[in-house]
Amino acid sequence: MNYIVSQAPVGSLQQENQSVRSFEASPMAKIGIVFAPCWGVSHFEPMLEVAKRLLLTPSGARFSVTILLVNPPPESARSFIRSLASSGLDLTFHDIPPSEPRLVRGPPDITSCYSDSRAAVRAAVSDLLSSVPVAALVFDLFGTPLIDVARDLNVAPYIYFASTAALLALFLHLPALDEKFPNVEFEEMVQDVVVPGVFPIPPQCMPTPLMDKKGRGYSCFIDNARRYHEARGILVNTVEELEPAPLAAIRAGLCLPGGAVTPPVHPVGPIIARCDEEAGDKVNDECLRWLDHQPPASVVFLCFGSVRGLDVRLAKEAAVGLERSGQRFLWSLQSPSPISELLPEGFEGRTRDRGLVWPGWVSQKEVLAHPAVGGFVSHCGWNSCVESMWYGVTVLPWPQYAEQHMNELVLVNELGVAVAMGVKRADGNFVTAEELERGLRCLMGEDEKGKRVRAKMAEVSAASRRATGKGGSSCVNLARVAEEMAAAADAEG
């Protein structure tokens, strides 16, 4: 779960992009579905992808989807919006400004913005209800204030959960953990954190916002978790076959305290947002041309997400380990600091025959899909994990924040598709050059561990692709959700 600061003025998207249609229901629409996504790009784009896929289910021809932009989306998401707006699907966008402009820095601000926007969301959904029955209001995992709007308008509330079933189980169980350990910080605990259906969680691997119980992030997680039982359903970006234990525990009602009824959980992943404009993205042409000249599965791709890069200390140490490993590499090095400050003197010259340092963003999906790429050094944001599994690229996890340390456990211990490194979380997630060198040689080498991880990744990749294909578990689950929404609208009508 990555969070982005959005500073665009309210309404600027529609002023800039005339292909984004104004808010009015299609006269042919029979059932309205409303999505209110979070604007962090790792939440925003996959949630819109869910909306698109919902329209493509057997029941989807009956739907008219409206996307409420509760806050202006990040600049990086606008090409995806343009692609959807011109797709021919029955999908419209509508700006919903918060009561006052807000600088978004994490979950508390996201939840506050949802809360501040309830009146405007209620007005927008009410307006839509004057034209068509609205079957569902779908919002982000931090958007539970909108449950009040859905309840007032007799519309079914659904949560889109952008991470793992393991994290969802922890989320649901968090109020019980809070009652059991009210005055103890997780990092002070000696024993592992126990959540029904989930692997034992070392305290140092708990999500960042939960590591300070006096902080706004912790109270935000608790407040949202306490309302999850009020949802009609939860759509999760995971695959039924890959996380059976936490899904079974959630469905059995083992995670919610006090015997509360758990909403139906629908694994609909892997959700990978695809933009028609990506193929023409000139920013990445040089990177892709360089990859075209590399041997198959020989290149390690280093990328740490769209929000944060490595700081100077971590980048310099990583460069030393990368150079010592002797591996071919493509490094997306995003940082406010100049490249000259991030790399050891002479690094690019010494590695020019086998590596490319790209000073900024690259299209991660295009790179991972390239046949020359055989390994991925990743921060383990869940979207990156999902993409690595989809394209069958094994991972060397270097988690940084949010729930990424838990995601590493899923990849390494549960799925077996990654090679663990010694990441020193208490020291700013520092990894020594020696540890990175070892991890890279193992990930890309021909020893038994490397072979085993690659074989396991091939199995997981095949399972991910089967899940979204015809008759696959995620395809069936999303179709079932669509049928449920349509049936609810028919019953109201």
Chain center to CA of 246: 18
Q: Is the pLDDT reported for residue 168 higher than 70?
A: yes
Q: What's the order of all strands across the beta sheet hosting 233-236?
A: 91-95, 63-69, 31-36, 134-140, 156-161, 233-236, 265-267
Element of type H or E holding 13? helix 12-16
> What does the pLDDT look like over 309-356, one tens digit per residue?
789 999 999 999 999 999 999 999 988 788 889 999 999 999 999 999
Report phi then psi at 266, rounded to 5: -120, 100
Query: Which one is predicted more confidently, 174 or 25?
Result: 174
Instruction: Give the span between the Cα atoms of 47 and 164, in whole angstroms.
Output: 15
Structure confidence at residue 11 as a pLDDT band (50, 70, 90): very low
Select from 177, 162, 220 the least CA-distant residue to 403: 162
Q: Whose structure tokens read 């042919």?
A: 28
Write down the pLDDT at residue 38: 84
- What would the mean pLDDT of 442-469 be, rounded to a whole number? 96
The pLDDT of residue 17? 36
Checking if the pLDDT of 149 tops 90, the result is yes
pLDDT, tens only, 217-271:
999 999 999 999 999 999 999 999 999 999 999 999 999 987 678 999 999 999 9
Check residue 306 and give its pLDDT.
67
For the segment 37-96, what is each residue's pLDDT rounded down to a tens digit?
987 778 888 999 999 999 999 999 999 999 998 877 667 677 778 888 888 899 999 988
Beta-ladder partners of 358: 332
Look over the chain and give the mean of its residue pLDDT values, rounded to a whole number: 89
Give yes or no for residue 210 having a pLDDT over 70.
yes
3-state SS class at 101: coil
Please write the tens of the pLDDT for every residue from 390-416: 999 999 999 999 999 999 999 999 999
Residue 383 predicted with pLDDT over 80? yes
Please give the angle made by the CA atoms of 455, 457 and 463, to the nearest 5 degrees.
Answer: 110
Considering the candidates 109, 140, 173, 178, report the single residue annotated as catalytic: 140
Q: What is the 3-state secondary structure (H, E, C) of 108-140?
A: HHHHHHHHHCHHHHHHHHHHHHCCCCEEEEEEE
Q: For the chain, what is the total number of helices (H) and then of strands (E)?
A: 19, 12
285 catalytic per annotation: no
Please report, to the nearest 10 degrees, the dihedral formed by the alpha carbons of residues 24, 63, 232, 273 taken in order: -90
Is the pLDDT assigned to residue 5 strictly greater than 70? no
Shortest CA distance to 379 belongs to which of 392, 395, 397? Answer: 397
Among the listed residues 43, 173, 266, 405, the single catalytic one is: 43
Local structure of 366: helix, strand or coil: helix
Kindly indicate the confidence band of residue 99, based on its pLDDT and cuts at 50, 70 and 90: low
Q: Given this model, what pLDDT does residue 493 score? A: 61
Look at residues 45, 33, 62 and name the one whose alpha carbon lies nearest to residue 2: 45
pLDDT the model gives residue 106: 80
Domains and CATH numbers, the chain: 12-274+468-492 (3.40.50.2000), 282-466 (3.40.50.2000)
The percent of residues above 90 in pLDDT, for the chain, comes to 75
Confidence of residue 358 (pLDDT cuts 50, 70, 90): very high
pLDDT at 4: 31
Average pLDDT of span 196-225: 96
370 is catalytic: no
